[in-house]
Amino acid sequence: MRRLLVLLATTVALTACATETPPAANPVLDGSGDVAAGAELFTAHCAQCHGPDAGGSDNGPSFLSDIYIPSHHADGAFLLAVRNGVQPHHWDFGPMPPQPGLSDQDVADIVAWVRQQQRTAGLIEQ
């Protein structure tokens, strides 16, 4: 009887684990950004500091440098920067504050546009 109860409890536990819903995919991490939407969002939320073409300004660094290519700053780094802000580590512009009001999809769209700009500049492969 005890063996039967242990077997039943194990079966119930394994079944519960197998039927859990996996976490939703993040559009930033799965690369599902829209370049056209990203261009508009970048202009509205990022260009003041990072320049209209992502080439930087007196207020923020350029994303058109080797520092911001995917092998050095992956797409998720952009999401973390938007959510949490960033302390200066590659620039002398002061800290970047969190950017409220942007959804994960908005950030995915912005990243898609930035990556397109980097491709156009020859920083990453087409």
pTM more than 0.85: no
Radius of gyration from C-alpha coordinates of the chain: 21
What is the rounded end-to-end Cα distance, in angstroms, of the chain? Answer: 65
12: pLDDT strictly greater than 50 = no
Q: Find out whether 34 and 89 touch, Cβ atoms under 8 Å.
A: no
- Render pLDDT for 15-61 as a digit per residue (tens, 0 to 9): 445 455 556 688 888 888 999 999 999 999 999 999 999 999 999 99
Task: Kindly state the average pLDDT of the residues 106-112.
Answer: 97
* Tokens (6 digits) for 61: 């660094």
pLDDT at 7: 45
**Fold for the domain defined by 25-120:** Cytochrome Bc1 Complex; Chain D, domain 2 (1.10.760)
* Alpha-carbon gap, residue 55 to 49, rounded angstroms: 10
pLDDT at 121: 97
71: pLDDT strictly greater than 90 = yes
pLDDT at 9: 47
72: pLDDT strictly greater than 90 = yes
